[in-house]
Amino acid sequence: MKTTKAKIIDGKAFSHQLNQSLIPIVKKVIGEIGRPPALAVILVGEDSASQIYVHNKAKRTQEAGMKSVEHRLSSETSEKTLLDLVTALNEDNEIDGILVQLPLPKHINEHSVIQAINPEKDVDGFHIVNAGKLATGRSELVPCTPLGCLLLLRDTLGDLSGLHAVIIGRSNIVGKPLAQLLLAENTTVTIVHSKTKNISEITTQADILIVAVGQSELVKSDWIKPGACIIDVGINRIADLEKGKGKYRLVGDVDFLEVAQKAQFITPVPGGVGPMTISCLLRNTVAAAAKRNGVEIKLK
Ligand code: NDP
């Protein structure tokens, strides 16, 4: 087996530190408002990956001293029923954060549901109001995965000013908000996507390469600049032939073994960006609780 030259960015350890650092902040909020910050998570349907994500989110929320309220609805739930639940949670003064686990069943309009969430409780940061605030430099609740990527980059590289960051992928939940966050750090940002010509000519100029595509091991070592910092957001389930029929393993969008020979820093999958996403959700929940209740807190 090849040895890895790059330093592996341990998102799991960093997210653990971040979660621990939130505990005294949560205690301060509890002291001032007399109850724990509360996160309501809505899951519609039985998608197995979503069920695991929701379970992990609830577990980590409680470990940080906050309250988790789960609403599990059947896949036949109508859009109106879901919107009514969102409205009820918006009006519930003891709920600080609302998260609707995506994807939703096809008969429900995701956009309508997300826009129905009170922006002050939109801990996923997907509401147009929060997207607009981020784009205009007045960010409050920022999408969790991009925020997790930024925290990992700051921890690994320190000052990001003047570096060239290339992001592969332009989704509203990862690529676009991450570009805004990196611009605010004074990096030079390029976004590439499925219609970009000669992608590797652009990615080989990147000091920082962030990949959020959803295609197993798409990025090979000839796509990267020697010594680059690679953040792999992708989570792809592929058949694990060594473990046998019906068994799967997770891989990222980056060919880890190959790219790790050339990069200086790289996130693994699993154990890189994934755990940071949940930490940032906790961070947003305590931030929402503090802001709604006029409690001053300082987050890193
Ligand atoms: P989307 O499908 O919404 O977006 C994918 C993006 O990749 C699009 O902009 C698309 O381009 C681009 N793309 C597709 N194929 C190529 C290609 N061959 N070359 C260049 N660009 C391409 O995905 P998400 O942003 O929601 O998620 C991306 C990945 O990140 C997924 O694997 C997902 O599971 C993972 N993820 C992980 C999270 C975590 O916590 N670690 C959280 C969220 C997502 P175009 O716009 O032109 O179609």
Please tell me whether residues 243 and 204 are part of one structural domain: yes
Please tell me whether residues 163 and 105 are part of one structural domain: no
The Å distance, Cα 211 to ligand 1 centre, comes to: 8
Q: For a pocket test of ligand 1, which of 233, 253, 267, 276 has the largest count of ligand atoms closer than 8 A to its C-beta?
A: 233
Longest CA span, the chain: 57
- Residue 172 included in any domain: yes
Pairing of strands 208-211, 229-232: parallel
- Residue 176 included in any domain: yes
| Ligand 1 atom showing the smallest separation from residue 193 Cα | 21
Distance CA 189, CA 200 (A): 16
Distance CA 26, CA 141 (A): 17
Nearest CA to ligand 1 atom 5: 213
- Residue 131 included in any domain: no
Nearest CA to ligand 1 atom 47: 194
Query: Which DSSP state fits 44?
Result: E
- Residue 289 included in any domain: no
- Cα Rg of the chain (Å, integer): 19
Nearest CA to ligand 1 atom 39: 274
Sequential pLDDT tens for the chain (300 residues): 556 799 999 999 999 999 999 999 999 999 999 999 999 999 999 998 899 999 999 999 999 999 999 999 999 999 999 999 999 999 999 999 999 999 999 999 999 999 999 999 999 999 999 999 999 999 999 999 999 999 999 999 999 999 999 999 999 999 999 999 999 999 999 999 999 999 999 999 999 999 999 999 999 999 999 999 999 999 999 999 888 888 989 999 999 999 999 999 999 999 999 999 999 999 999 999 999 999 999 997
Nearest CA to ligand 1 atom 41: 274
| Ligand 1 proximity of 233 Cβ (cutoff 6 Å) | yes
Please tell me whether residues 75 and 154 are part of one structural domain: no
**What pLDDT is stored for residue 1 in this prediction?**
52
- Residue 61 included in any domain: yes
| Ligand 1 proximity of 273 Cβ (cutoff 6 Å) | yes
| Ligand 1 atom showing the smallest separation from residue 253 Cα | 32
- Residue 243 included in any domain: yes
**What pLDDT is stored for residue 48 in this prediction?**
87
pTM for this predicted structure: 0.97
| Ligand 1 proximity of 235 Cβ (cutoff 6 Å) | yes
Please tell me whether residues 176 and 110 are part of one structural domain: no
Please tell me whether residues 94 and 147 are part of one structural domain: no
| Ligand 1 proximity of 142 Cβ (cutoff 6 Å) | no
CATH of the domain at 56: 3.40.50.10860
| Ligand 1 proximity of 268 Cβ (cutoff 6 Å) | no
The Å distance, Cα 212 to ligand 1 centre, comes to: 4
Please tell me whether residues 175 and 266 are part of one structural domain: yes
Distance CA 229, CA 195 (A): 24
Q: For a pocket test of ligand 1, which of 101, 213, 267, 279 has the largest count of ligand atoms closer than 8 A to its C-beta?
A: 213
Please tell me whether residues 52 and 164 are part of one structural domain: no
Please tell me whether residues 259 and 186 are part of one structural domain: yes
**CB contact set of 35 (below 8 Å; sequence gap of 6+):** 67, 94
Sign of CA dihedral 151, 153, 157, 160: negative
Annotated catalytic residues are 57, 101, 124
- Residue 291 included in any domain: no
Query: Which DSSP state fits 104?
Result: P
Question: Token digits for 277?
Answer: 């996403």
Q: Which domain holds residue 41?
A: 32-121
**What pLDDT is stored for residue 90 in this prediction?**
98
- Alpha carbon separation from 189 to 45, 243, 282 (Å, rounded): 37, 40, 27
| Ligand 1 proximity of 78 Cβ (cutoff 6 Å) | no
Please tell me whether residues 59 and 116 are part of one structural domain: yes
Cβ(232)–Cβ(211) below 8 Å: yes
Nearest CA to ligand 1 atom 31: 214
Please tell me whether residues 251 and 169 are part of one structural domain: yes
Q: Which of 121, 152, 178 marks a domain boundary? A: 121
- Residue 15 included in any domain: no
Please tell me whether residues 67 and 167 are part of one structural domain: no
**What pLDDT is stored for residue 287 in this prediction?**
98
CATH of the domain at 173: 3.40.50.720
Q: Which of 89, 121, 153 marks a domain boundary? A: 121
Domain count, the chain: 2
Please tell me whether residues 100 and 152 are part of one structural domain: no
